Chain A
Amino acid sequence: MKKILSIGMIRGLLAQVVGMAIGFGLVTLLQTLTGQPLKAEPAWVVGGFISALSFLTGLGIFNDWFRMARGDEVPEPEEVEEPRGLRRYWGVSYDHKVIGVQYAFLSLFLLAMGGSFALIFRVELAQAGLQFLSFNLFNTLIGLHGMVLIASILMGISAISNYVIPLIIGARDMAFPRLNAFSFWVAVPGALLLVFSLALGGFETGWTGYPPLSVRGPMGVQMFFLGVWFVGWSSILGALNLITTILRMRSKGMGYFRMPILAWAVLSTSIIALTATQMIGLSFQLVLFERLLGMGFFDPAQGGNPILFQHLFWFYSHPAVYIFVLPGLGVVSELLPVFVRKPLFGYRWVAMSSFGIGLVGFLVWAHHMFAAGMEEYLRVPFMYSTLLVAVPTGVKFFSWTATIWQGRMRLQTPMLFLIGAIVIFLLGGITGPLLGTVSTDLHATDTYYVVGHFHATMFGGYVFPFFAALYYWYPKITGRRMSERLGKWHFWLLFIGFMVMSLGQMRIGLLGMRRRIADYDPALGFQLPNLIITLAGFAVALSVLLLFINMFRSARKGEPATGNLWESRSPEWQIPSPTPAHNFSGEVVVTGDPYDYGLEGAPGYVRLEADLTHSPQPAD
């Protein structure tokens, strides 16, 4: 028993159940004592809130901070004794590499879950008629599919950023290791609450949670709000940590324009996440209050306005799309030079384009609302700003193309995924302007066209680069390579499956298939396309299953990875795999440019020194 309780995750889960009971009991008791009619919703909301905090307390993430508050000595994060082996990953660790792997595991877990939700409702949609889902369950599943995968994406980019950023900027850890661990762990009870909404009747609003619908429906929506609220904290604090790390912990000689391009991408993403995420937490919190306390923020009958919610919501949720894709695009820019053996074309332009996208991304949110009924004249300026996003995005595409042009491309698995990322993100990109010009958007909005377009941007901007990163850095993490053969199967199945799925969705969308419908009129002729889309969806799922098998098998049986596997100039490949504790034994000095491939006799990007005196120390 004691041995089981020594695992942080288990302590946290038990504490979460207890916390839920305490919160629920407390509210019920108060209601009984004051003679109020017993209402379950407030009890669940308070229970849910306390349960998440209990999870974190039970886990022990607050212990050091409590000690500091009391004035006790706490060890430096680097010196904390942590359990050995796999058990390290099931509790609090301050090592950025462990946290990176934890993020990756949670991300893949949520990916499998969110993807499975999609498979369920895709089977329902494979033919006309309502077969086995109820309206409510269908709506809950589409909403959870969206939000669980958003959480998965946030965890995925945190995985890449956490594991890779300190390594490629030559740091020994993140700037705030304790905060780093907290950022990860706060997402775990958040994700649990999100899924718990299923048990409380689900919700029928989709991931957007628009009131007044979200004010009326089943109370599962409250758990959905709470879950997003906690996951949002993870994103905000993680961003804060990454910004500090990138600004303050770079190795000697690494001026801003000598940073790896991925650091630029993560920096711009983190700035967006730090400044925008509050908005979604806030907007959901307002609806939560409206339901719970009758505050009519969005109720026209009480002087509220439902469009206000949409403004608040999209003010985060549009930039969020760039939070999702910028690190992915950064991975593409980072890995392309390694695999085409050429310098990144126009490094400064690519770096600045990330900032350009981030900046313009803040000015376009209302393009989600062209048909929503906001002031009509507002639609025109938002059309201009929306199409403007094409300019920095174009710079990226053209620079990639110029990088690839005449490159001696090595078609290994990560490179295949980079090609997939470029082609599919291109598909997502070029199908966007049609949604940006108002009058065409009035036809295409709220249809499967948007579904196809959005999934193309997510797969091209996140999923494919994330998989490329997994294949590329997996040997760095485990010391073993993943199977190339399975990797290629994974790629082709995913690429073809996704293309069929996405193009099919766009096609039926333009012809008149609405989003988020549990059933459709067979007379519209969408039966066959929907069946094909469902089958393609299963191909995508199967490909991800291949990835899991590959990861699992290669961890023990994979070909050992020694030395600079991909012949990269980046610092992490100049040290052994798996990455040793505290990464670099001495100072990392930048002596050249990061992507000088193809230049005979070029100075290396970094020189690793054996002396320890100048290494940046993480602060907490």
Chain B
Amino acid sequence: MTGERKPRRVLIASANPLFGKGLMKLYGERWQQQAIQSRLASSMEETLAALDSWQPDLVIVDYDDRAIHREEFLSHFITGSRPMQVILVSLQESGAVVVYDRRTLTPAQANDWLNLPWQPEPSSNPPSRRTPKMKGNTRHLLIAGLLVIVSTAVLYFLLTSIGLLPEEASQQAATIDRLFNAHFFMISLLFSMIVVFLVYSIVVFRSKPGEKTEGAYIKGNNRLEILWTIIPLGTVIAFSFFGARNLAETRKAEPQALNIRVVAFQWGWSFEYSDFGVTSRELYLPVDRQALLSLTSRDVIHSFWVPEFRVKQDALPGENLVKQLRITPTRIGNYTVMCAELCGGAHAYMNAPVKVVSKADFDQWLGTQVSAVITDPVERGKKWAENTGCISCHSLDGKKLVGPTWKGLYGETVTLADGTTVVADETYLRTAILDPNAQITQGYPANVMPSNYSSLLTDDQINDLIEYIKSIH
């Protein structure tokens, strides 16, 4: 023991003068060469007042004394910040001696503590065995950390290479699969973080059978806890943000979307191409063109799901509850739409074929379907004209729009931009549709009408269109 010593302040709290004075004397005899100041407090108020004003280093409390309100005293003791120790001494029961230390609750039995030489600098008080432990701990943490990295990499590689998801057959699927991959990474990381540390602890630190050792006395670490609250918080907010962006991307609307009304019922599907008056039991979709599905149900709740397209939407009964779903198929092939919401009975069999086909095949299929429904070529032509967008530029009532009107066009003599005239017969009309810039009508600019109708319409459809134009007088 070196250095200058402040007198040690000892407060003895007891209403029993024998206890207090006896203890004071005992303590003084034990440490007679040390500078000690001691004081007696015989009531609760006195004790608390002395705690604040006199600031003792040690308080000895008569634990059998009911005049000392233990809880109040304890809370006073715990909430303070100045280093201080408290001993609870009971005279009635043997072994009922308890030492409290305000800073660390140092492990020491009362007797041991009494025999410890009194140290004037309280900062050197905490147990010194922590330092060597930390070194070993750092090594363990390093090894475990490395294992976490390795395990994350291996797991992520496995998850992304064993084909967890079905084929990617829509634009939405491509977008969603990016988010899936981010999730697979988080799964690998979090699983490794916890399991590696768990397994490492079991392997390295566990008690061998019969061993009775205790673990390290570590009660917590607020900085760590804050860290592993804040970092996950940031991560989930980021995930939600990117999740929302991802969702928005899957819902991006294209103006030229193909409208299909999907009707679900126990237990089947019907698909109405309402613009064409076609109803089908198979879902035909042209590749690379967005389909806007309007889902409804005739009875209970069903759900539209094609795994290869990823997105899913319930179909509800009720005209006011029609729900929409956008899908842009990107791969030609045969798929299945399945009902994903339990709808009773044959729910398992509520499937329908989905055929993603090329643009040309789709038009051909649609043409056949329409022909089957509408026998009059004029009626069919009217459908094509409405759905191809012809009539937004060509009026049916003689009005001058972007292009010449169709009213009474057939058989009339048309004056062209170069001054020549031509009779609007079938050949003229066909040329005007397929190669619009070949014969520009006087008064209308060239290069306005798209010249790709040969790829958009089949020959039959063009014939129907011509029949339709012929019918408008």
Contact = CB atoms under 8 A, between A and B. Distances in A.
A341 B218 CA distance: 11
Contacts of A208: 342
B192 to A, nearest CB: 10
A511 B307 contact: yes
Contact of B344 (A213, A371, A380, A607): A213
B225 to A, nearest CB: 5
B198 A383 contact: no
Interface string B180-222: 1001001100110111011001100111000101111111111
Nearest to B240: A384
Nearest to A519: B348
A345 interface: yes
Contacts of B240: 380, 383-384, 387, 437
A306 B316 contact: yes
A430 B232 CA distance: 12
A598 B246 contact: no
A426 B224 CA distance: 20
A445 B313 CA distance: 10
Contacts of A383: 240, 243-244, 247
A512 B215 CA distance: 48
B305 A422 contact: no
A593 to B, nearest CB: 8
A246 B172 CA distance: 51
A23 interface: no
A390 B205 contact: no
A285 interface: no
Contacts of A431: 187
A341 B214 contact: yes
B229 interface: yes
A597 B216 CA distance: 8
Contacts of B179: 437, 439-440
A135 B205 contact: no
Contacts of A212: 299-301, 317
B385 interface: no
A135 B346 contact: yes
Contacts of A206: 342
A607 B64 CA distance: 14
Interface in A470-529: 507, 510-512, 514-521
Contacts of B339: 514
Please classify how large the interface on chain A is, using the bins under 10, 10 to 19, 20 to 34, 35 or more: 35 or more
A409 interface: yes
Contacts of B310: 439, 442-443
Contacts of B341: 210, 446
A259 B79 CA distance: 19
Interface in B40-90: 70-71
A139 interface: yes
B105 A514 contact: no
Contacts of B300: 210, 212-213, 216
B232 A390 contact: yes
A301 interface: yes
Contacts of B96: 607
Contact of A446 (B165, B232, B312): B312
B434 interface: no
Interface in A378-429: 379-380, 383-384, 387-388, 390-391, 394-395, 397-399, 401-402, 404-411, 419, 422-423, 426-427, 429
B170 to A, nearest CB: 11
A345 B232 contact: no
Contacts of A445: 312, 340
A355 interface: no
Contacts of B398: none
Nearest to B109: A601
B232 A391 contact: yes
Contacts of A433: 183, 186, 236, 239
A436 B197 CA distance: 27
B345 interface: yes
A401 B247 contact: no
Interface stretch (B11-19, B285-293, B318-326, B454-462): B318-326
A601 B107 contact: yes
Please classify how large the interface on chain B is, using the bins under 10, 10 to 19, 20 to 34, 35 or more: 35 or more
Contacts of A384: 236-237, 240
Interface string B298-311: 01110101010011
Contacts of A419: 198, 202
B180 A440 contact: yes
A434 B307 contact: no
Given A210-B301, A430-B187, A379 B247 contact: yes
A408 B211 contact: yes
A437 B217 contact: no
Pick from B323, B338, B339 the residue with the most CB of A within 10 Å. Answer: B338
A253 interface: yes
A408 B186 contact: no
B200 to A, nearest CB: 8
A157 interface: no
A94 interface: no
B35 interface: no
B197 A442 contact: no
A443 B233 contact: no
A380 B312 contact: no
Contacts of B166: 510-512
Given A300-B318, A384-B237, A439-B175, A514 B338 contact: yes
Given A306-B316, A408-B206, A139 B201 contact: no
Interface string A202-218: 00111010101100110
Contacts of A595: 219
Contacts of A402: 218, 220-221, 224
Nearest to B232: A394
A305 B186 contact: no
A507 B164 contact: yes
Given A430-B191, A599-B105, A406 B348 contact: no
Interface of B: 70-71, 96, 98-100, 105, 107-109, 112, 137, 140, 164-166, 172, 175-176, 179-180, 183, 186-187, 190-191, 193-195, 197-198, 201-202, 205-207, 211, 213-222, 224-225, 228-229, 232-233, 235-237, 239-240, 243-244, 246-247, 250-251, 299-301, 303, 305, 307, 310-314, 316-321, 323, 336, 338-349, 351
21 contacts: A139-B342, A212-B317, A213-B300, A216-B344, A391-B229, A394-B229, A402-B220, A402-B221, A404-B201, A404-B202, A408-B205, A409-B206, A434-B180, A437-B239, A438-B246, A443-B176, A511-B166, A512-B338, A593-B219, A601-B112, A607-B96
Given A345-B220, A346-B221, A520-B348, 8 more contacts: A139-B344, A342-B215, A346-B219, A347-B219, A394-B229, A401-B194, A408-B214, A598-B215
Interface of A: 135-136, 139, 204-206, 208, 210, 212-213, 216-217, 253, 300-301, 305-307, 340-349, 371-373, 376, 379-380, 383-384, 387-388, 390-391, 394-395, 397-399, 401-402, 404-411, 419, 422-423, 426-427, 429-431, 433-434, 436-440, 442-443, 445-447, 507, 510-512, 514-521, 591, 593, 595-603, 607
The 5 closest A-B pairs by CB, nearest first: A300-B318, A437-B243, A342-B215, A512-B307, A517-B348
